[in-house]
């Protein structure tokens, strides 16, 4: 490997086991959502994370949308979402006709600031969607306690946190529902895809009906509810089955990558890592850092890395600055500082120790500390 080899920020890992299962779908003709891998993937997934039910859908966005529809979120309702997240979290709320209420971000964990969350609860608050950003669990003990006091539903956005846990409980099992994404750059990928998990049998039944046009089970073309077509295909599920069997190893390898990044960068002045709450275990979805030093910025570090064939990603823009979600509340101002200073570094199965060393040496050079 030469020094000029391009390193992407992320790339999916598809092995021969996935190809074999996909070929089985193609050869057998089971290519729609009616096929054995869909049920197998749902059962395997539920068993893996320790939830009673798992309902597969077409994307993480579909998972969030379906979860909100299942609890009847609509006009007049408020749903608390973090100011720093991928916009799908808030879009799902808006597209139900409800109001996403933006919550400030804890500057250490980069997840929901529970004190601010507390202040935002009104009689119209129907749900809270904590996002376990960059694989770091939000403060679920405090959030579920707050929600319990007010009779509010908790929907966990686990798109970036499959395999992360709090007190040995996986994310996606602590709220009423958990929503997962299997987009190509996520911890487990089916190309596009998603999952809703729950321990509530009634909710699970409703989610399955809503995912399939709202059609009554056992009565073809009869609709008690208006639903959508959010069904995952057997082909996607086949890839999911093969990926889930490898997930523990994926998680371990990503953890190793984080350890190596930290080993190289922990002492570097101006590089800041997120902190993980007591009792919580994060997963390394994308190795993310903050650049906090005079005359240095995440943006110029990103340019510097790009000049040296290393791809990276800026953090999400604060939602409160963007047209559909605009909010002038002063508690949200700090999100901009966090967002501006953040950068995600290459993290994927197949990234080598040598590549991580090369990336870290570049960062040290940029920060003014020769490797």
- In terms of CB distance, is 133 or 351 closer to ligand PLP? 133
Please tell me whether residue 241 binds ligand PLP under the rule CB under 6 A: no
End-to-end CA distance of the chain: 19
Phi, psi of 154 (to 5 degrees): -105, 120
CB of 60 to ligand PLP, least distance (A): 2
Kindly state the DSSP code that residue 223 receives in the 8-state scheme: B
CB of 18 to ligand PLP, least distance (A): 18
Q: Which residues pair with 198 in a beta bridge?
A: 53, 177
Please tell me whether residue 195 binds ligand PLP under the rule CB under 6 A: no
Please tell me whether residue 48 binds ligand PLP under the rule CB under 6 A: no
Work out which of 135, 194, 270, 346 binds ligand PLP, going by CB under 6 A: 194
* Token reading at 154: 């908790």
Please tell me whether residue 116 binds ligand PLP under the rule CB under 6 A: no
CB of 81 to ligand PLP, least distance (A): 10
CB of 264 to ligand PLP, least distance (A): 26
Work out which of 56, 171, 181, 284 binds ligand PLP, going by CB under 6 A: 181
- In terms of CB distance, is 237 or 363 closer to ligand PLP? 237
Residue 112 CB-density burial (10 A; 0-12 exposed, 13-18 middle, 19+ buried)? buried
Catalytic residues: 186
Work out which of 59, 243, 288, 339 binds ligand PLP, going by CB under 6 A: 59
According to DSSP, the β-strands at 99-103 and 78-82 are parallel
Q: Which residues pair with 289 in a beta bridge?
A: 343
Kindly state the DSSP code that residue 197 receives in the 8-state scheme: E
Please tell me whether residue 89 binds ligand PLP under the rule CB under 6 A: yes
Please tell me whether residue 61 binds ligand PLP under the rule CB under 6 A: yes
Query: Is the separation of the CB atoms in 73 and 127 below 8 Å?
Result: yes
Between CA 151 and CA 176 the distance in angstroms is: 11
Residue 139 CA: distances (Å) to CA of 11, 77, 110, 165, 172: 30, 23, 11, 11, 13
Residue whose C-alpha is closest to residue 168's, from 284, 53, 279: 279
- In terms of CB distance, is 61 or 144 closer to ligand PLP? 61
Helix or strand or coil: residue 207?
Answer: helix
Count of residues near ligand PLP by CB under 6 A: 14
- In terms of CB distance, is 113 or 366 closer to ligand PLP? 113
Work out which of 49, 159, 319, 360 binds ligand PLP, going by CB under 6 A: 159
Which listed range, 59-67, 216-224, 273-281, 331-339, lies at the site for ligand PLP (CB under 6 A)? 59-67
Strands of 106-172, DSSP E: 125-128, 153-157, 165-166, 169-170
Which listed range, 56-64, 221-229, 256-264, 296-304, lies at the site for ligand PLP (CB under 6 A)? 56-64
Query: Is the separation of the CB atoms in 90 and 98 below 8 Å?
Result: no
Query: Is the separation of the CB atoms in 63 and 180 below 8 Å?
Result: yes
Please tell me whether residue 37 binds ligand PLP under the rule CB under 6 A: no
- In terms of CB distance, is 57 or 146 closer to ligand PLP? 57
Interacting residues of 132 by C-beta distance below 8 A, sequence separation 6+: 111, 138, 156, 157, 158, 160, 161, 164, 171
Which listed range, 54-62, 269-277, 292-300, 339-347, lies at the site for ligand PLP (CB under 6 A)? 54-62
Work out which of 86, 170, 230, 348 binds ligand PLP, going by CB under 6 A: 86
Between CA 70 and CA 169 the distance in angstroms is: 24
Please tell me whether residue 243 binds ligand PLP under the rule CB under 6 A: no
Please tell me whether residue 60 binds ligand PLP under the rule CB under 6 A: yes
Positions that interact with ligand PLP (CB under 6 A):
59-61, 85-86, 88-89, 131, 157, 159-160, 181, 183, 194
């Amino acid at each position: 490997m030469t020094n000029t080899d391009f390193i992407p920020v992320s790339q999916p890992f598809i092995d021969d086991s996935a190809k074999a299962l996909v070929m089985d779908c193609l050869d057998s003709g089971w290519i729609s959502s009616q096929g054995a891998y869909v049920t197998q993937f749902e059962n395997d997934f539920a068993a893996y994370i320790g939830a009673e039910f798992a309902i597969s859908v077409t994307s993480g966005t579909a998972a969030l949308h379906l979860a909100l529809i299942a609890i009847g979120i609509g006009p007049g309702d408020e749903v608390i979402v973090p100011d720093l997240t991928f916009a799908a979290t808030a879009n799902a709320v808006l597209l139900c006709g409800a109001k996403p209420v933006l919550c400030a971000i804890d500057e250490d964990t980069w997840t929901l600031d529970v004190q601010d969350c507390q202040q935002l609860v009104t009689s119209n608050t129907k749900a809270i969607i904590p996002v376990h950003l960059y694989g770091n669990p939000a403060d679920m003990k405090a959030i579920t306690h707050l929600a319990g006091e007010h009779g509010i539903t908790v929907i966990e956005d686990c798109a970036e946190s499959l395999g992360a846990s709090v007190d040995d409980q996986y994310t996606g099992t602590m709220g009423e529902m958990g929503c997962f994404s299997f987009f190509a750059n996520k911890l487990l990928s089916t190309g596009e895809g998603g999952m809703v998990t729950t321990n509530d049998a009634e909710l699970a039944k409703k989610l399955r009906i809503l995912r399939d046009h709202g059609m009554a089970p056992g009565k073809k073309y009869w609709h008690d509810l208006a639903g959508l077509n959010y069904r995952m295909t057997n082909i996607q599920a086949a890839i999911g089955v093969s990926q889930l069997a490898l997930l523990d190893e994926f998680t371990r390898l990503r953890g190793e990558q984080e350890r190596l990044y930290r080993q190289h960068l922990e002492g570097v002045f101006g590089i800041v890592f997120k902190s993980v709450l007591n009792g919580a275990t994060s997963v390394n979805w994308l190795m993310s850092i903050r650049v906090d030093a005079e005359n240095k910025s995440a943006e110029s570090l990103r340019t510097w890395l790009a000049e040296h064939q290393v791809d990276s990603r800026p953090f999400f823009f604060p939602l409160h600055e963007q047209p559909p979600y605009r909010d002038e509340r002063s508690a949200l101002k700090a999100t901009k500082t966090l967002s501006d200073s953040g950068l995600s570094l290459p993290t994927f199965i197949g990234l080598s120790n040598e590549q991580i060393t090369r990336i870290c040496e570049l960062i040290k050079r940029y920060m003014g500390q020769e490797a």
